[in-house]
Chain A
Amino acid sequence: MMKFALFLGCNIPARVQHYALSARAVLARLQVDLVDIREFTCCGYPMRNTDQKTALLFSARNLALAESRDLDLLTLCQCCFGTLKKAAHLLEKDASLKEEVNAFLAKEKLAYEGKTRVKHLLAVLHEDIGPAALKAQIQGAFKKLKIAAHYGCHALRPSDVMQFDDPVSPGILDALVAVTGAKSVDWSQKLECCGAPLLGVNDDLSMKLTAGKLADAKASGARFLTVACPWCQLQFDGVQSRMETEGRTDADLPSILYPQLLGLAMGLSERALGLSMNVKDIHGVNAFRVE
């Protein structure tokens, strides 16, 4: 049985609870054991702009907490993934930096040696469990459902550090979409940023990028987006909805969190997957299911 420390980060418990809900439901069905560590804090991502040193301490402390329990760490958020992975990479390369960081962690009787691996949900589903095993769990596959798979930035890039998928032509999420019976469409902006990192900093730019992506995905014939990151989901769900009222987009392309999509295909209940917690209604996706 696989076992991970579940790292939720800050956005999911506060604003994207259905992501945790659906991921837990799906992983439970797949016999993946999740351990919650209450002492986990922010990964450090928003701190990197102004103070990378402190951001690194955030990450290292979380890594050390997982390591103290001999667990690998599973993230649902790509920004947490990118930040933690980057921190692990830096600490692996730089022994003196590691020593400095460990001196800080020692105040809490923690230490980080580098044993804990950081994994994103998509990689656990695709590598550790595998499409074949997932397929065996499908109870009501989708048919004729076109999905625009949004990969998100921080799992893919920088690829030398993330080691997640081919950064130019990734296939993990497409394969995972295919598992559900849905078709992952090609769209030119598939690998671009959702725009969320600039929300609150430069709203016009942030929403312009989002609008561009939505229009492109819509033009590709997709009925829904699927994502695996709370930042992307916030942007494509609540922010898209707000953009509609401000006349910034008319794409009307709801976003489904990937474990919601997978969970539906696996026959999990809408309630267990938090379907009604999305801002933009995604219940229409059920019309594409064949029992």
Chain B
Amino acid sequence: MVFSVALYLSLALFAIGTVVKISTWFTRKVGVFGRHFTTAQRVGGALKGIFGVVFSAKIAALLRALILDVLLQMRIAKEDRLRWVMHLLIYGGFMLLLLMHALEDHITAKLFSDYYSTLNPFLTLRDIFGLMVMVGVAIAVYRRFILRVPRMMTRPMDHYAIVIVAVILLSGVLLEGAKMTSHSEFIRMVEDYAGMDDEEEIKALESYWVAEYGLVSPTVKGPFEAGILEKGYEAHESNCADCHAPNASAFMGYTAAKILAPVAAGLDRANGVTVFWYIHILACFFGLAYLPFSKMFHIVSSSVSLLANAVMDPETSLPENIATRQAMELDACMHCGTCSLRCSVSVAYEANGNAMVLPAEKLAALKAYAADKALSPKAWAALGEGIVLCTNCDRCTVVCPAGINLRELWLSAREAILSKDGVPLLMLSPFSLFRGLNRHRLPARGYERPLKALRQAMADAFPLVRDTETRIPVTPVDKDFKTEAAGTGPGSTFAYCFSCENCTTVCPVVEAYDNPQDAVGLLPHQIMRSLGLGLKDLALGAPMLWNCLTCYQCQEHCPQGVKVTDVLYELKNMAAKETAAGS
């Protein structure tokens, strides 16, 4: 009764959870790609897409991905052998247990007419499958907590995944062990299956089971005479052996039985078998019911992602399907950290501690964002920096074992994030190259917005650059600023400037404008002079800084050895600090 109620309840919760989860793939919006499509359009697009794949040559690619990527997980093998072994052990062992053991009535018994869970090979196989999972979990714990794979972070969901699998497995082994030791189980089996009524014979059988099967009896204790065991063996052969292989062949349960032996009598009185049974099946049912909301959902979502990856293409797939895929991909991430391990800008995290620079953490934040969970201003700023501080080197996309197209995910999500307040100054740097290269794929409206917002923010922070009316006092000199600028190595060389304007003459940016001062505020030689005069607002606020190509023509051509380009770099760094402190 309890079993049936718990089973159907957890199955129902699993089904509802899965439907809810999958429905979010069609409702959530990750970024700008396909943003305007309605849920109905996205469902329609998905059906069309699936239909188109199944009835086309693409089915071959789909099947290939199903075998190589989903079942054999070759993408993991390519990246990390140990992890592949770990994953195959857990997933392979668990699947086999599910099919052979959990669904024994529905599958194994149907396939094998002489099936008994207590007969070999099934008895041994169950323990072999269990051992596979346990070794896999042990490797998982080792990787996460002892080996400490760089930049692999552990969130509560990672703990849960390890704990739920471990509880199911351990309770199963303890249940098996407790059953072996249990005297009441023995009596029940004798009554149910043996049909023996000779007390002597039962006692002999009991002695034999105590000696050979790990049974702990309150009355019968070894050592036994050879004659008794001989008699017990005969009783066993004629009454039990047909349906019960040696307990020792279930090596894990048998080991557990040996460990439990000293407390077995008490355990049996306390109904230990029932207790372990409840723990075991309730853990299984809890795991099942909670699966759609846990990391374990990646069984479904990562598989879907791998299949989608095999047949979808950012350039040719329906845009509504790309939006759906991106929402799905947020669920497909199992937070394995392979992307973060290979991330090209991971040093920025190691140096400054913003975990959102790392793809795996960034994706977790995007997931919260797409689910309309409010991010704290601090987390929002960190995410903004993380989404811009990316060279789009593609490595995360190449290595992702779930086939998530992170490159497209970032491209799409970046626009959504940049359409809000709090654009990081980092945008005014070569990090924006990829966005520029993909301008034609992004919504035209909004493309310039973050750049304009930043220019405006800089103009507001340093208003004197545009203000030609205000008289700027040159005394007293801002000594602090001059000292700070001069203290940076190349910065000190500005003092040699005698305003020959060579730097400005050779500057290709200045050259490109009819009226350069309008465009860039101060020209390079004017910035050097502003520094000399200690005019912080002018030196730090000139738009010239953020329009500098860093081509080093000015520095190369300075007759005085002023490190002009390097000074501009220093000023940009100082302006970044200054505006970050002020915001």
Contacts and interface: CB of A to CB of B under 8 A. Distances in A.
Contacts of A54: 347-348, 351-352
A198 B344 contact: no
Contacts of A107: 350
A203 B439 contact: yes
Contacts of A31: none
Nearest to B565: A158
A98 to B, nearest CB: 14
Contact of B436 (A42, A158, A206): A206
A126 B508 CA distance: 29
A192 interface: yes
A154 B565 CA distance: 12
Interface string A185-197: 0000001110111
A196 B393 contact: no
Interface string A207-227: 011001000000000000000
Interface stretch (B46-54, B286-294, B363-371, B422-430): B422-430
A171 interface: no
A276 interface: no
Contacts of A50: 425-426, 429, 572-573, 576
Given A10-B344, A50-B572, A199-B436, A205 B551 contact: no
Nearest to B395: A13
Contacts of A153: 549-553
Interface in A50-91: 50-54, 57-58, 61, 79, 90
Interface string A127-166: 0000000000000000000000000011011110000000
Contacts of B425: 50
B77 to A, nearest CB: 16
Contact of A199 (B344, B346, B432, B573): B432
A267 interface: no
Nearest to A152: B551
Contacts of A208: 512
B347 A46 contact: no
Interface stretch (A21-29, A234-242, A253-261, A281-289): A234-242
Contacts of B378: none
Contacts of B563: 158
B16 to A, nearest CB: 41
B508 A49 contact: no
Contacts of A205: 509, 512, 547
Contacts of A156: 552, 556
A202 interface: yes
A1 interface: no
A104 B346 CA distance: 13
Contacts of A44: 347
Interface in B249-274: none
A238 B433 CA distance: 12
Contacts of B433: 11, 46, 196-197, 199-200, 231, 234
A167 interface: yes
Given A13-B395, A52-B569, A158-B563, A198 B440 contact: no
B435 interface: yes
A54 B349 CA distance: 10
B555 interface: yes
Name, among A41, A48, A54, A168, the residue most crowded by chain B CB atoms within 10 Å (CB to CB). Answer: A41
A37 B356 CA distance: 25
A247 to B, nearest CB: 14
Given A153-B551, A200-B435, A242-B440, A193 B344 contact: no
A229 to B, nearest CB: 12
Contact of A202 (B347, B547, B566): B547
Nearest to A62: B347
A197 B508 CA distance: 13
Nearest to B438: A200
B393 A203 contact: no
B224 interface: no
Contacts of A45: 430
B494 to A, nearest CB: 15
B350 A49 contact: no
Contacts of B343: 41
Interface in B475-496: 489
A61 B394 contact: no
Contacts of B2: none
Name, among A200, A205, A208, A238, the residue most crowded by chain B CB atoms within 10 Å (CB to CB). Answer: A200
A49 B569 contact: yes
A154 to B, nearest CB: 7
B452 to A, nearest CB: 11
A95 interface: no
B348 A197 contact: no
B345 interface: yes
A61 B344 CA distance: 12
B347 A57 contact: yes
B427 A201 contact: yes
A49 B428 contact: yes
B118 interface: no
A88 B553 CA distance: 21
B546 A61 contact: no
Contacts of A231: 433
A200 B437 contact: yes
Interface in B430-461: 430-437, 439-440, 451
B247 interface: no
Contacts of B547: 198, 201-202, 205
Name, among B393, B435, B549, B569, the residue most crowded by chain A CB atoms within 10 Å (CB to CB). Answer: B549
A41 B347 contact: yes
Contacts of B427: 200-201
Contacts of A61: 347
Contact of A197 (B350, B550, B556): B550
Interface string B556-577: 1000000101100110110010
A290 interface: no
Interface string B380-417: 00000000010111110000000000010000000000
A158 B555 contact: yes
B44 to A, nearest CB: 32
Nearest to A54: B351
Contacts of A15: 437
A277 interface: no
Given A48-B569, A199-B436, A201-B436, A41 B346 contact: yes
Nearest to A58: B347
A49 B553 CA distance: 17
19 contacts: A14-B407, A42-B347, A42-B393, A46-B429, A47-B345, A47-B389, A49-B426, A49-B430, A50-B576, A157-B551, A158-B556, A193-B553, A196-B433, A199-B432, A199-B436, A200-B439, A201-B427, A201-B436, A202-B451
Interface of B: 150, 342-348, 350-352, 389, 391-395, 407, 425-437, 439-440, 451, 489, 508-509, 512, 546-547, 549-553, 555-556, 563, 565-566, 569-570, 572-573, 576
Q: Which 7 A-B pairs have the closest CB atoms?
A: A200-B436, A200-B432, A157-B552, A10-B393, A199-B436, A10-B391, A14-B394
